[in-house]
Structure 1
Amino acid sequence: MLLRKGMKLGKKIEEILVGEKLQFFEKMEDKDLLLYLGLTNDNNPLYIQHDYAIGTPYKKPIIPAIMLNGIITSAISKHLPGPGSHIREQNIMYFEPVYHNETIEILLEVQQIDLAQNTVEIYVKAFKEKNILVMDGVLKVVPPY
């Protein structure tokens, strides 16, 4: 098995506990948004043009939902369960927009473990200031083998 020097695999299914949690904060910076938009060739004016966004219910540019997904995917890959894991299924709802330079709090919690399928069900919630729910969902994750 080839892994980067010093990197170890995340938790295998038998090492994961129901109720295990991960909490972290992420600031949605313009530099990250511009990198995403450049990589995907996404030029949606809702994400970058103040003149357009002011005429929408949002009143200013918002962060694409897929960028929020990317932060969650990264947390799964790095921390819970960690390197070697991947998301098999996801069901996420988005309730409020996230604006440029807002900080969001993301909470992941293991809810179920299926040893036979080698999957864990992880609930995800994200909030912005004043505990405003931004997203809520469930991920089915395959831990490293």
Structure 2
Amino acid sequence: MPNQQPTKKKYTLEELIEGMSAELTQVIAAEDTLQFADLSGDCNPVHLDENYAANSRYKKRIAHGLHGASFFSALFGTQLPGEGCVYASQNLQFKRPVYVGDTVTAKVTIRKIDRVKKIVSFETKCFVKNKVVIDGSADIFMPQK
């Protein structure tokens, strides 16, 4: 269960402007990590086992990279541009580990709008303690109407 629900919004293509952004902040709770492992099937012990993780390069449990990246989907579908939009693509770079218990802020910012093809391009970033942990870009299809 998310710690914070984004405000539900729905923008039309005509209302969108380059530079618009939205963000979501959530704590990566231990229970969320277990649920993500169950849903995704990724049961790598670096995410789930304290003893295993203590002997890894990270020294403690890390969250699944795609768990943090999934916050972008929440932002797109509920805030900017809002309901009815669909992912066309997502590129990700995992810059730093996200540990279980970290507070993650995901932010999406409109970079480009193709009004003919009805595709909106975004910069996507996740931050922990003001440091970029996930950096990327996404293209989103806007609804027909």
Could you tell me how far apart the structure 2 residues matched to 1:39 and 1:126 are?
21
Normalised by the size of structure 2, how large is the TM-score? 0.88
Q: Deviations over 1:37-79 (max 9, x none)?
A: 1223321101011111111110011011111121111111111
Higher radius of gyration, 1 or 2: 1
* In the alignment, structure 1 residue 128 sits paired with structure 2 residue 128: yes
**Cα RMSD, aligned residues only:** 1.5
* Code of the aligned partner of 1:103: T
Which position in structure 1 is the counterpart of 2:78?
A: 78
Q: How does 1:86-101 map to 2 (within 5 A)?
A: 86-101=86-101
1:11/1:143 contact within 8 Å kept: no
Cα drift, residue 26 of structure 1? 1.3
Please, which runs of 5 or more residues in structure 1 have no aligned partner? 1-7
2:89/2:138 contact within 8 Å kept: yes
Flag as ranges the 4+ runs of structure 1 deviating above 3 A. Answer: none
Q: Give the number of equivalent residue pairs.
A: 137
- Give the fraction of aligned pairs with identical amino acids, expressed as a percent: 26
Moved more, 37-46 or 8-17: 8-17
Could you tell me how far apart the structure 2 residues matched to 1:14 and 1:46 are?
45
- CA pair 52-18 structure 1, distance change in 2 beyond 3 A: same
Could you tell me how far apart the structure 1 residues matched to 2:53 and 2:63 are?
12
* Code of the aligned partner of 1:85: C
Cα drift, residue 23 of structure 1? 2.4
**Paired residue secondary structure (2:113):** strand
Which position in structure 1 is the counterpart of 2:43?
A: 43
Cα drift, residue 22 of structure 1? 0.8
Normalised by the size of structure 1, how large is the TM-score? 0.88
